Structure 1
Amino acid sequence: MKILDVCCGSKMFWYDKEEPHTTFMDIRDEVLTYTDRNDVRKVEVNPDIVADFRNIPFANDNFDLVVFDPPHLIHAGANSWLVKKYGKLNKDTWEQDLKKGFDECMRVLKSSGVLLFKWNEDQIKIKDVFAVFEQQPILGDKRSKIRWSVFVNEKACDCIKKACELTKFNALNGGNKMSRKKDRKRKNFTIFLANGKTLHFTNVSKKEDLIDEKGYPYLVLHYFDKRINKQRTAYFEMINGNVIGYAEDKQ
């Protein structure tokens, strides 16, 4: 599990401020003091990496979870303790800045990853922020002033959409004839694993190349196991490096 918090600030909502799976990022690296009700308080912004959320210095498809908690204020004085604590957006460019940040979060997020977005509606309504993102979350808090929302990567949405389209196409055309066509005689297959090992299957009566509900391909082999004298089925995911290929053995 790899997590990126792109606007970690003082890590206020983190139970473990040194969470080992997480890279903490912020545009600031400083210790600030402010007076709150006659009490002098301190804010420590100590990220692992100093960077701007509009230009995240990581490769594409890198993180399983990205946390995006940008500043929510556009109207506040430079010496305001809220600005010192949470930061401030430019009132003239906040839309472009948030859009760049959202797109950057999605870029470094894996296709199977999740973006966790936090927003305070004190000055900008969250519906206006979603309009800037040009994407709606799949779930989130709809009532409180502070909103948590969950986004999935559009790359994953595209895979699901393509899988649904393929399923509809197959249904209209009598099914996936190539993947579901029965072999006329039993065959032998060799599976090449990503770790360099191979698996050999004999007496294979049927092979299916299918796509699951998330749009990921997988291979199904139906074969007769002579050791137990029974028909068996083997499943192999063709993602995450589990399988790198297969071959039909010549007889």
Structure 2
Amino acid sequence: MVTMQLDATCGYKAMWRNKDTSDVIFLDLRRECNPTVIGDARYLPFRDQAFDVIYCDPPHLIRSDALSIITHQPESAGAKYLLRYGWFKSRSEWIGFLYRVNIEFRRCLKDNGRLWFKLIDGKDPRVTKLRDIELYLTNFRIVEKQIEKARLPWSSNKTVYLWMVKK
């Protein structure tokens, strides 16, 4: 059975290395990521109930100072990270993103479809929060949650993987 899958925030497709992607549509705002479709996860250019699975691995940092870091420290590890993975400029931009994808993912996901969502959670105010997913993705119910220690040895943050279904 062929499934239709959407990676709504594909970036450079790191999670897809060495995997069959013949049934995956890659969407990203950035042309340099070479997505199948250049577009915004907040305003999906697809018909209703088009996908069996939607993947969302959005930027994990909330940094109002990101442009300053990129401009004044372009060779720093922080600047390279921000340029590669992107960022939200403020907490309200992050919440706005969740509000919009809550609507769009529900619309484009089949009734028996699944939503996979990855985020970073922790005490650091500059990272996304699991509680925000629980508060703002109101069209979905978490059916599976996996939490791992972040890969950065100095970080107390956690990487959270969620499988969700429509309510």
TM-score relative to the length of structure 2: 0.77
Question: For residues 158-197 of structure 1, what are the structure 2 equivalents within 5 Å?
Answer: none
- 1:81 maps to a residue whose letter is K
| 1:77 aligned residue (66, 73, 76) | 66
**Identity percentage over the alignment?**
29
- 1:2 maps to a residue whose letter is M
Q: Which has the larger radius of gyration?
A: 1
- 2:112 maps to a residue whose letter is S
- 2:27 maps to a residue whose letter is M
Question: 2: CA distance between counterparts of 1:86 and 1:125?
Answer: 17
2:50 maps to 62
Indicate if the aligned counterparts of 1:62 and 1:110 stay in contact, CA closer than 8 A: yes
Deviation readout 1:96-155 (Å, 9 max, x if unpaired): 22220132112100001111111112523212232121244111114531111001122x
Deviation at 1:16, TM superposition (A): 3.8
| 2:134 aligned residue (130, 134, 144) | 130
Question: 2: CA distance between counterparts of 1:93 and 1:51?
Answer: 17
Question: 1: CA distance between counterparts of 2:105 and 2:29?
Answer: 15
- 2:82 maps to a residue whose letter is V
Deviation at 1:18, TM superposition (A): 6.5
**Structure 1 ranges of 4+ moved more than 6 A:** none
Aligned length: 140
SS in 2 for 1:137: strand
SS in 1 for 2:15: coil
SS in 2 for 1:13: helix
Deviation readout 1:191-234 (Å, 9 max, x if unpaired): xxxxxxxxxxxxxxxxxxxxxxxxxxxxxxxxxxxxxxxxxxxx
Deviation at 1:15, TM superposition (A): 2.6
SS in 2 for 1:56: coil
1:104 maps to 104
**More helix per residue:** 2
Q: Considering Cα pairs closer than 8 Å and 6+ residues apart, tell me whether 1 or 2 has the greater RCO.
A: 2
- 1:109 maps to a residue whose letter is L
**More strand per residue:** 1
Deviation at 1:85, TM superposition (A): 1.2
Deviation at 1:29, TM superposition (A): 0.9
- What is the Cα-based RMSD across aligned positions, in Å? 1.7
Indicate if the aligned counterparts of 2:141 and 2:166 stay in contact, CA closer than 8 A: no
- 2:21 maps to a residue whose letter is E
| 1:139 aligned residue (128, 135, 144) | 144
